[in-house]
Amino acid sequence: MEAVGLNENQRESSSKLARQLLRRNRLEVRSSEQSAHDPMSPPRKKDAFDVTIPEGPLVLRTPCSFRVRGGMFETVSHNGIRLPVISSVQLLALSQLVEHAQNSDALSAHRASVGDAALNEKQFLELLRPFVDHRFVVRRVEKASSGADLSNAILSGNSKEETHQLFRRNAVAQDEAEAARVAAGGRKRPKVIPVAFDMCPPAGLGAVIAYAKVYENGALEEFYDFRTDWVWDPKRLEAFTAEPAIYLFTNYLWSHQECIQVSEQIKELSPDSITIHGGPDTPKYENDQHRYFAEFPSVDVIIRGEGEVAGAEALSKLREVIGNPQPDLSVLESVKGATYRTPEGIVRNPDQDRIKDLDLLPSAYLTGLFDNYIGLDDLFVILETNRGCPYGCTFCDWGSATASKIRKFGMERVVAELEWASGAKVASVSIADANFGIFERDVDIAKTAAELKNASGFPRGFGGNYAKNTVKYLRPIIDVLAAGNILTLGTLSLQSMDENTLDVINRANIKTEKYDALAVEMRNSELPLTVELMMGLPGSSCRR
C-alpha cells in the first residue's frame, strides 16, 4: 500500500519507520492484492480536491488516535467515518498542527523535523483536505489561550461558533415574530427556555417541548413563548432574564456543572424565574434530592423519570404563578414525578407512571423543532426506536427505565425520522435504545438506514448500543450496515470480565460468550473492533 503523491525520499522514510514497527511486532504485512481490496481503505472521495482549506489558524482536533495498518496509518472519526490511510511522514506533518496554527509554521516545523523527506506545500495542502472535510482539522478558536479553556476551544473547532451564529440569527427571528404578535394585539407570553450545551439537537429537551406544545390541545403554546434556542448563548442571558421565565435543564454527567452555573446566573439576575432540572445526572432518590436542593439553591424543581408528561403538567400548573414575586411552587402538588421547594421545605410527589403508548409523543424532528440545525456540517442526531431495558445493571440509569418492559415507537415514525436525518444531511445517527437488535424489526431499521445512505450519501454513520444476550438479529444487522458502509466500527460493551464484579453489579445474567459471538460477526464483516470496560466498579480491584 503506497501513499499517493510522495517522492522517493518520503517513501524511503515511511518504509524505514514501517521496518522498525515490523521488528517491534506492531505492524502486519499484507499483499498488494489484499491492500487494493482492503475494505478499511476506501477510495478517495470524488470531490476531495474541491475541499476548501479554512483561512486563518488551524488545529488538529485532539485526542486523535491512529492505528498501524499495512505499513500505513488510519483513523476513524467519532461518527464512524474512515479516512484515507496516510504514511508516517504525512502523519508527522499532520501532527504539527497541534502546536502550530499557521500552515506555514506547521510546514516549517515539519521540514525541520524530517529534512529532505518532508512534504512540499502542495502535498501538505492535499494531505489536509480529507481531514478538513471530516473536521479533524478545524479553525482554531482564539478566545482561549491555555488550560481547559484551550482544550474546549480545540475540541469544538469552528462548529461551535457556526452553531452559535446560526442560533443567534434564529433568536432574533423569534424575538421579531413575538414582537409582531404582541403588536397585533396578542398577549405578551412568558418564555420557556431550554438550556443545552451540545452542538447536536438535544433529544430529551426536544421531546419535552414537543409534547408540551400539543398538551391540552395547544393550551400551553397559547400561554407560553416556547423558545428554540437549543444551544445556550451567554450573550442572551441579560435579555432573557429581563422578565421572569421558566428554564428547562437536562443534566448529564458532562453538562451538569455548566447547567448549575447557568442556573445560578439566572436566579441571581431573575430571582422570580423558575428553574426545572431533570435528566440522568439529577438525583431521583429522596435523601439524595434533599442534599441536592441544599447544595444547589438555584434549583427550584426536579423532574424524575420520563419528562414529557410530568414536564407538561408542571408547565400547566405554573401558569398560575409565573411572573409573581417569589412564585409559590406548591401549585405542583398534583404533578407526579416532581420534587420542589416550598416555604415549608422540600416536597416530593409520587412517581410518574411510565408512558405506555410512545406514539402519543410527537417527534421533535418531524414537527420542525430541530429544523434550525439543517445546514450545519458534521451534524449527528440521537433517535429512539424504543424505551426500556430488561436488565438491571446497578451502574446504569438508562433514562430511569432499567429493569423495565421495552416499549416501542411506531415503525412509521422511526422511518420518518431516519428520512429527516438523511434529508438534513446528518453525518451520523446514534440510536438511543439500550438494546438495538433485540427485535426482528431492528433489521428493517438498519436496512432503511443503509438504503438512505446509498441513495443520498447520508447518514454516513449509524450505530448504538447492541442487544446484550442475543445475536440472532445482530448478525443480519451487522451484515447490512457493513455492506452499506454505514457501520464502520464494532463496539463490545463488556464493562468487566470479573465474575464477582458482574455479580455485584447485577450483570451476571449477561453471558460473556454472547459477546464472543458478536465479536466474530464484527470480525467477519472486517470491522475495527473496540471494547468498553469500566474501571473501579464495585467488587473490582487492581488484581482483577
Segment 297-340, tens digit of pLDDT: 999 999 999 999 999 999 999 999 999 999 999 999 999 999 99
pLDDT on residue 385: 97
Q: pTM of the predicted model, to two decimals? A: 0.76
Is the predicted pLDDT of residue 166 greater than 80, yes or no? yes
Give me the pLDDT at residue 488, please.
63
Handedness of CA 137, 232, 429, 394 (dihedral sign): positive
Nearest partner of 365 among 344, 392, 383, 338, judged by Cα: 383
pLDDT classification of 33: cutoffs 50, 70, 90: very low
- Mean of all residue pLDDT scores within the chain: 84
- Does 34 score more than 70 pLDDT? no
Query: From the CB of residue 355, how many other CB atoms can be counted at a distance below 10 Å?
Result: 18
Of residues 228 and 10, more confidence is placed in 228
**CA-based nearest residue to 334, from 321, 346, 350, 354:** 350
Nearest-angstrom CA–CA distance, 283 and 302: 8
Domains along the chain with CATH numbers: 8-139 (no CATH), 189-348 (3.40.50.2300), 374-533 (3.20.20.70)
| 8 A C-beta contact, residue 194 and residue 248 | yes
Q: Check if the beta carbon of residue 445 is closer than 8 Å to that of residue 414.
A: yes
pLDDT at 19: 53
Alpha-carbon span 415 to 398, nearest angstrom: 23
CA gap 327, 273 in Å, rounded: 8
Cβ(384)–Cβ(433) under 8 Å?
A: yes
pLDDT score recorded for residue 103: 84
Instruction: Please give the helix or strand (H or E) that residue 200 lies within, else none.
Output: none
The Cα–Cα gap between 423 and 418 comes to 9
Cell of residue 237, nine digits = 442571558
458 CB-near residues (< 8 Å, 6+ apart): 421, 422, 423, 424, 425, 426, 427, 452
- On the question of pLDDT at 412 being above 50, the answer is yes
Q: What is the pLDDT of residues 453-490, one digit of tens each?
A: 999 999 988 988 888 777 788 889 988 998 888 876 77
For the record, the C-alpha cell of 468 comes out as 446484550
As a whole number of angstroms, the distance between CA 436 and CA 446 comes to 10
Residues 130, 84 contacting (CB under 8 angstroms):
yes
Is the confidence at residue 534, as pLDDT, over 60? yes
